[in-house]
């Protein structure tokens, strides 16, 4: 049997060899910086690496499996060998979705795809439609958030490798759940990153918070872009994923006339037509620009980038301030009395006005009448907003359950696509902290010192900030699956299930027309009333009692037993959903 190896390595000057089965087999140079070899001298499944100009063996940048991590050899894996059973899966559009974000390594005690499969029934019963996996691209060590990935085409082996991901997707589809994957194209991790040795994957012409930018517009960038575009396609086609969440697209610095994001959306839409089911791109975009999700123009006419949806932090920030009263850092602007009403009726708070955190004007206005709310992914908690706090404390650590319930009512009856962070639905008592398992001790010490310095400015001592490398940090971050059956955790879970059931069953509560939404906010009483067609959602975040007139309606859901008279009273924080009789 002939085995074929291909590699883009324009940085190699004289020689590229395949290191396989104790041999070094020379490759032939072909056009465009590519190298090629066909041989029948080795087994097709033999682990291999590439050696450039007599150098050390390096894993294949497009390798599918790294059994020993990104410093080891590449093990061949053909995703077409998997026996799929999801032929009847019709897919899930972003419109109508409810997303559940989870980290494979801490979602279960075992931290694997197979263990996560055993918890899918919980998600079905909860009422979500889409499971969003945090990044699974291979990274060094065992434990990591995943944003330090260095091998885009390989699935992290301790999670279960590529076959494990395919089993998870197949099982989720069998239960009616779509699967999204968080992917990182704006930077690569520092540990195990050998791409510079192969070619111009990075450019000094642009810089990001992580260093030199990925080369999207300089010399050699055609193949770098192809590398990213092929990665998008392989997840959606070969692993049957339904959506990709694109990390921090504002850091994809690209001066070309045809932006990489528009290219991605074109290829994904073409692939969706080919496979016959919806495929979705969701951008994390700090620019507050609805053009990211505006459909592309016809032919050569430019319009939007055509990304299907975007994370919208302004909604999170306004809710967070309303629920917690925190106004430090980037939360400061959201203490304004108009913040909550503005984001619920227009997604962005910063839509061209001044941002005190940035020290400049930020964002762009949107047309509420034409931009549907489902394009904006909204949340109360995310991996970022929890894990980037000094001790990884969830809202449940500092906010009483009734206020959490009120926040959930606003989120889950909003015109946006709601997203939950794993454990949020039962007010998990476990933190979710920043953890790593880097092998480079210099890098380890730099991260420790950096985090200690960052949080010292906020009054946290170095001994209070969890050590990212400590085994106890990742262990503390694992969900406790005994909690959902106990006390207030069980009650919160029932509340989330009720709200999601109402969202499914009541058209008013999932209507995404933002120009049909209004929200009244009383900053003194700390009470929000969200108007959704013939329904009202009352979220009381204050401490005193609140009398609520039903105005001929009836309570269809309440955090407390609020009664059914003409007027009901909330004795403290809580929420009501009021509908017509």
Q: Is residue 339, in this structure, part of any structural domain at all?
A: yes
pLDDT confidence of residue 497? 98
Residues 571, 436 within the same domain:
no
Residues 29, 139 within the same domain:
no
Q: Are 203 and 215 in contact (CB under 8 A)?
A: yes
> What is the count of structural domains for the chain?
3
Residues 349, 213 within the same domain:
yes
Beta-sheet pairing, 574-580 with 211-214: unpaired
Task: Give residue 19's domain range.
Answer: 3-58
**pTM: predicted TM-score of the whole model, two decimal places:** 0.97
Residues 486, 523 within the same domain:
no
| Phi, psi torsion values for 56, nearest 5 degrees | -70, 150
Residues 125, 214 within the same domain:
yes
Q: Which residues are annotated as a binding site?
A: 245-250, 313-317, 383-388
State the residue for tokens 């509340």. Answer: 495
CATH number of the structural domain spanning residue 8: 2.60.40.10
Q: Is residue 218, in this structure, part of any structural domain at all?
A: yes
CATH number of the structural domain spanning residue 531: 2.60.40.1180
Residues 146, 249 within the same domain:
yes
- The secondary structure of the chain in percent helix, strand, coil, rounded to multiples of 5, reads 30, 20, 45
Q: Are 34 and 222 in contact (CB under 8 A)?
A: no
Q: Is residue 79, in this structure, part of any structural domain at all?
A: no
Residues 483, 545 within the same domain:
no
Residues 499, 523 within the same domain:
no
* Rounded Cα distance, 335 and 315, in Å: 13
* Rounded Cα distance, 278 and 239, in Å: 15
Residues 103, 26 within the same domain:
no
* Rounded Cα distance, 64 and 134, in Å: 18
pLDDT confidence of residue 524? 94
Other C-beta atoms closer than 10 Å to the C-beta of 22 total 7
At 393-419, the pLDDT tens digits run: 999 999 999 999 999 999 999 999 999
Domain boundary among 475, 503, 531: 503
Residues designated as active site: 247, 284
Q: Which residues are annotated as a binding site for substrate?
A: 245-250, 313-317, 383-388
Residues 198, 324 within the same domain:
yes
Q: Is residue 70, in this structure, part of any structural domain at all?
A: no
Q: Is residue 327, in this structure, part of any structural domain at all?
A: yes
Strand partners, 35: 7, 29
pLDDT confidence of residue 462? 61
Residues 499, 534 within the same domain:
no
Could you read off the pLDDT tens digit of each residue along the chain, which spans 581 residues? 899 999 999 999 999 999 999 999 999 999 999 999 999 999 999 999 999 999 999 999 999 999 999 999 999 999 999 999 999 999 999 999 999 999 999 999 999 999 999 999 999 999 999 999 999 999 999 999 999 999 999 999 999 999 999 999 999 999 999 999 999 999 999 999 999 999 999 999 999 999 999 999 999 999 999 999 999 999 999 999 999 999 999 999 999 999 999 999 999 999 999 999 999 999 999 999 999 999 998 665 568 999 999 999 999 999 999 999 999 999 999 999 999 999 999 999 999 999 999 999 999 999 999 999 999 999 999 999 999 999 999 999 999 999 999 999 999 999 999 999 999 999 999 999 999 998 888 888 988 888 878 787 666 666 788 999 999 999 999 999 999 999 999 999 999 999 999 999 999 999 999 999 999 999 999 999 999 999 999 999 999 999 999 999 999 999 988 777 789 999 999 999 999 98
Q: Is residue 510, in this structure, part of any structural domain at all?
A: no
State the residue for tokens 């590439």. Answer: 50
The pair of structure tokens assigned to 326 is: 């925190």
Q: Is residue 476, in this structure, part of any structural domain at all?
A: yes
Beta-sheet pairing, 567-570 with 546-549: antiparallel
Q: Is residue 68, in this structure, part of any structural domain at all?
A: no
Residues 412, 338 within the same domain:
yes
Domain boundary among 442, 476, 503: 503
Q: Are 262 and 306 in contact (CB under 8 A)?
A: yes
The pair of structure tokens assigned to 195 is: 């791409």
CATH number of the structural domain spanning residue 156: 3.20.20.80
Domain boundary among 472, 503, 534: 503
Q: Are 207 and 218 in contact (CB under 8 A)?
A: no
pLDDT confidence of residue 455? 82
């Amino acid at each position: 049997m002939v085995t074929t190896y291909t590699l883009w390595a324009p940085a190699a000057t004289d020689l590229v060899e395949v290191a396989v089965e104790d041999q070094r087999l020379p490759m032939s140079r072909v056009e465009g910086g590519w190298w090629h070899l066909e041989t029948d001298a080795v087994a097709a499944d033999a682990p291999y690496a590439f050696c450039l100009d007599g150098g050390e063996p390096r894993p294949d940048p497009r390798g599918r499996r790294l059994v020993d991590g990104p410093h080891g050899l590449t093990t061949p894996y053909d995703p077409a060998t998997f026996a799929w059973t999801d032929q009847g899966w019709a897919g899930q559009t972003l419109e109508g979705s409810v997303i559940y974000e989870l980290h494979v390594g801490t979602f279960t005690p075992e931290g694997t795809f197979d263990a996560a499969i055993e918890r899918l029934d919980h998600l079905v019963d909860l009422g979500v439609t889409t499971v969003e996996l945090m990044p699974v691209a291979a990274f060094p060590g065992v434990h990591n958030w995943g944003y330090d990935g260095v091998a885009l085409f390989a699935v992290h082996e301790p999670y279960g490798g590529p076959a494990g991901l395919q089993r998870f997707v197949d099982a989720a589809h069998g239960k009616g759940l779509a699967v999204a994957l968080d992917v990182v194209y704006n930077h690569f991790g520092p540990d195990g990153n050998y791409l510079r040795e192969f070619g111009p994957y990075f450019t000094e012409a642009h810089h990001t918070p992580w260093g030199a930018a990925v080369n999207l517009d300089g010399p050699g960038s055609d193949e770098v872009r192809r590398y990213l575009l092929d990665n998008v396609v392989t997840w959606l086609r070969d692993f049957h994923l339904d959506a990709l969440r694109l990390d921090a697209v504002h850091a994809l610095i690209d001066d070309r006339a045809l932006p990489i994001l528009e290219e991605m959306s074109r290829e994904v839409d073409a692939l969706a037509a080919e496979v016959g089911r919806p495929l979705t791109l969701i951008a994390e975009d700090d620019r507050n620009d609805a053009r990211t999700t505006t459909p592309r123009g016809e032919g050569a006419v430019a319009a939007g980038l055509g990304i299907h949806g975007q994370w919208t932090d302004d909604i999170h920030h306004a809710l967070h301030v309303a629920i917690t009263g925190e106004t430090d850092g980037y939360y400061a602007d959201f203490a304004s009395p108009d913040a909550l009403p503005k984001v619920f009726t227009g997604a962005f708070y910063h839509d061209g006005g001044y941002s005190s955190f940035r020290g400049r004007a930020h964002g762009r206005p949107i047309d509420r009448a034409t931009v549907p709310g489902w394009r904006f992914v909204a949340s109360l908690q995310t991996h970022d907003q929890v894990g980037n706090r000094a001790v990884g404390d969830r809202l449940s650590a500092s906010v009483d359950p009734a206020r959490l319930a009120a926040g959930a009512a606003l989120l889950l009856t909003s015109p946006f696509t709601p997203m939950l962070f794993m454990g949020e639905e039962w007010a998990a008592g476990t933190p979710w902290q920043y953890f790593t398992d880097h092998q480079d001790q210099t890098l380890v010490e730099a991260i420790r010192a950096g985090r200690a310095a960052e949080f010292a400015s906020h009054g946290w001592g170095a001994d209070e900030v969890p050590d990212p490398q400590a085994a106890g940090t990742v262990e503390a971050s694992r969900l406790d699956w005994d909690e959902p059956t106990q006390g207030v955790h069980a009650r919160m879970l029932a509340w989330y299930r009720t709200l999601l059931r109402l969202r499914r069953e009541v058209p008013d509560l999932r209507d995404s027309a933002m120009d049909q939404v209004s929200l009244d906010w009383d900053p003194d009483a700390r009470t929000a009333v969200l108007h959704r067609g013939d329904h009202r959602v009352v979220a009381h975040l204050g401490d005193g009692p609140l009398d609520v007139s039903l105005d001929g309606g009836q309570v269809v859901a309440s955090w407390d037993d609020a009664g059914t008279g003409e007027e009901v009273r909330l004795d403290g924080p809580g929420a009501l959903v009021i509908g017509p009789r």
